[in-house]
Structure 1
Amino acid sequence: MNKILTLTVNPALDIYTTVEKVEPEVKMRSESPKKDPGGGGINISRVLQRMGTETKALYASGGFTGNFFSQLLDEEHIDHEPFKVKNDMRQNFGVFENSTGELYRFGFPGAEMEESEANTLLEKLEKNLGDSEFLVASGSLPPGVGTDFYAKVAKIAQERNVKFILDTSGKALAEGLKQGAYLVKPNLDELQDLTGQKAETHEQRKQMLKKILEDYPVEVVVHSLGPDGAFLAKKNEIKHFPAPKVKINSSIGAGDSMVAGIVYSLANNKSLEEAVLFGLACGSATLISPGTELLKKEDAERLYDELLSNYKNV
């Protein structure tokens, strides 16, 4: 049984390379590119696989890029099921500048998905849920898919009594939350979009988290604060958890890794507090990894032990 099913509607083949210096009008000699399967839910399943828990990835896939993408998942021994669509899968591009340590990221829009394809994907989702305990929908929606798509996903999860975790942005997030979710993980921009307010202090962010819990049928909100850690907000309670201090090599996949750490812990019967701490550890373990490389299990466990020890001593 796959306790955790992930859904990625707009996956991408991530291509990463390094150059000495980024310059205009110059043919820059780069290193051999590294290619990884990417997209919110895909990254979450990849992290869960590394942590040794059962997961299955359901995702839209088209064209030559989609076929290559599936081969990469096979190489990582990920249990996955592509949903074939007419148009080719998108690609994302990242360049690390050696001379400055800066990372340049280019995200291309996904190819348009037809309405009939989106509806069939929902049907495939129902068939794949099985006895899953958690459904994690993460990432953007491609052109052609209505902003209410995640609301439909939430409804399916509710009808099957599956805990729904949503990590997206914009109108897709707002529409999805109208239907409801067990847990969401908004960043600052997403928090401000949902509430229509601006936040300059942690106290203002807390008030916005309370508003989300009041306005939407959501049980838990985990708000990422970057190097300041995260807030865990649930009914009548908001807690702050500091992040571990690490040297950042690349931010690619860190947010997805944090979600993976949270759902991994919850699926293994840990408390919400322990889940947030492990989520922070996983996100930080990916931050110290180069390029598009995700975390190493031993790094995540080491950082979690440090965070848990500090938390118990507070």
Structure 2
Amino acid sequence: MAEILTITLNPTVDLSTSTPEVSAGPKLRCTTPLADPGGGGINVSRAIRFLGGHSTAFTAVGGETGALLLRLLAKEGVRFTAFSVTGDTRQSIAVTSEATGEQYRFVMPGPSWSDEMVDTSLTAIRQAAPEGGIVVLSGSQPPGVPLDYPARLSRLLEAAGVQLFLDTSGKPLHELARHPANPFVLRMDDVEAEDLAGRPLPTRADTADFASGLVAGGVARNVIVARGADGSTLATAEGRWHACRPIRPEEVVSAVGAGDSFVGAFCIALSRGDSLHDALCYGTAAASAAVLTAGTQLCTAEDVARLLPGCEVVPL
């Protein structure tokens, strides 16, 4: 099997708690907080671990919060390579109102990077990237990291024969579209796709046409667009497919974690030599499994195995 390296430039220690009611003014007495390692690439590595696979999480860390993050990763059995940065690793806080069930999420920006840290990180990732393997870049970029970082990493890894799976959004995604770097896989959700397209994409065919246009334009060799409860659409140079979620809408507990679970499962499938078509199905089953769990929990291997036979992939 090909080795997998995940990249998290802006990790976080996710704190989650609850209080009887959220209101401005009074002190809100909360339950004992739970701490989890977080950030796009880290959550992908955690999903891979939950599914019985193996990866190494390359993560930037700094200060006491960074040390806590590494301890949490070790506790979960996730292998990691730490890249030291100046400043403290960020924290994120999720507070659930017990009265309404609503969750309030507070996300900090993370430490600011210098140009030297950017250049050093690219060199470190190139050295850590497994030969003939898969690298996943997922999650937000810290302040100071240039918008063309994903494109620079893509070109660097392509020259080394490494497949890059890029899950990005916002300005870095727009930058990649303007200056294509052709990563092996580019993934985005439906909101990000419509923002990039500048128009609604109401049907699967609309999504497939947009994704195919990105492939034809050299933005990425393969493009995946997650359409929420409708599943995910994949476009390649050879064709377009859509994988339907094998669950009913009323079964959904929380949408948090679906994207990271998808990416983790998809990359496991790629690492064992499955086709893109089969990887799409496995990823969709994992995303479906993730929404069956509460809060920030990811997929479970048992749910994925149960849902996988019901995952239908149709050509578009």
TM-score of the pair, normalised by structure 1: 0.92
Identify the match of residue 228 of structure 1 among 227, 230, 235. Answer: 230
For 2:245, the aligned partner's letter is A
Give the total of aligned pairs.
Answer: 310
Correspondence list, 1:40-79, <5 A? 40-79=40-79
Gaps of 5+ in 1: none
For 1:240, the aligned partner's letter is H
Correspondence list, 1:163-182, <5 A? 163-176=163-176, 178-182=180-184
Is 2:204–2:242's contact at 8 Å kept on the other side of the alignment? no
Instruction: Please give the alpha-carbon distance, in whole angstroms, between the structure 2 residues aligned to 1:268 and 1:55.
Output: 13
Deviation at 1:287, TM superposition (A): 1.5
Deviation at 1:179, TM superposition (A): 1.1
Instruction: Please give the alpha-carbon distance, in whole angstroms, between the structure 2 residues aligned to 1:255 and 1:213.
Output: 21
**1:145 alignment partner in structure 2:** 145
* Deviation larger for 22-31 or 149-158: 22-31
Is 1:41–1:139's contact at 8 Å kept on the other side of the alignment? yes
Against the structure 1 CA distance between its residues 90 and 53, is the aligned structure 2 distance closer, same or farther, given a 3 Å change threshold? same
Q: Secondary structure at the match of 1:186?
A: strand
Deviation at 1:288, TM superposition (A): 1.8
For 2:89, the aligned partner's letter is M
**1:290 alignment partner in structure 2:** 294
**1:258 alignment partner in structure 2:** 262
Is 2:2–2:272's contact at 8 Å kept on the other side of the alignment? no
Q: Secondary structure at the match of 2:188?
A: coil
**2:282 alignment partner in structure 1:** 278
Deviation at 1:207, TM superposition (A): 2.5
Instruction: Please give the alpha-carbon distance, in whole angstroms, between the structure 2 residues aligned to 1:241 and 1:99.
Output: 37
**1:4 alignment partner in structure 2:** 4
**Is the counterpart of residue 301 in structure 1 residue 309 in structure 2?**
no
Deviation at 1:79, TM superposition (A): 1.1
For 2:287, the aligned partner's letter is G
Q: Deviations over 1:39-91 (max 9, x none)?
A: 11001111112222221111110111000000001111111011001111111
For 1:95, the aligned partner's letter is V
For 2:303, the aligned partner's letter is D
For 1:291, the aligned partner's letter is G
Deviation at 1:229, TM superposition (A): 0.8
Is 2:43–2:260's contact at 8 Å kept on the other side of the alignment? yes
For 1:67, the aligned partner's letter is A
Q: Secondary structure at the match of 2:242?
A: strand
**1:27 alignment partner in structure 2:** 27
Deviation at 1:274, TM superposition (A): 1.7
**1:98 alignment partner in structure 2:** 98
Is 2:4–2:130's contact at 8 Å kept on the other side of the alignment? no
For 1:200, the aligned partner's letter is P
Q: Deviations over 1:190-215 (max 9, x none)?
A: 21233333333433323222221222
Against the structure 1 CA distance between its residues 199 and 20, is the aligned structure 2 distance closer, same or farther, given a 3 Å change threshold? same
**1:87 alignment partner in structure 2:** 87
Deviation at 1:216, TM superposition (A): 2.6
TM-score of the pair, normalised by structure 2: 0.92
State the percentage of identical aligned residues: 33
Q: Secondary structure at the match of 1:261?
A: helix
Is 2:41–2:139's contact at 8 Å kept on the other side of the alignment? yes
* Deviation larger for 29-38 or 198-207: 198-207
For 1:110, the aligned partner's letter is G
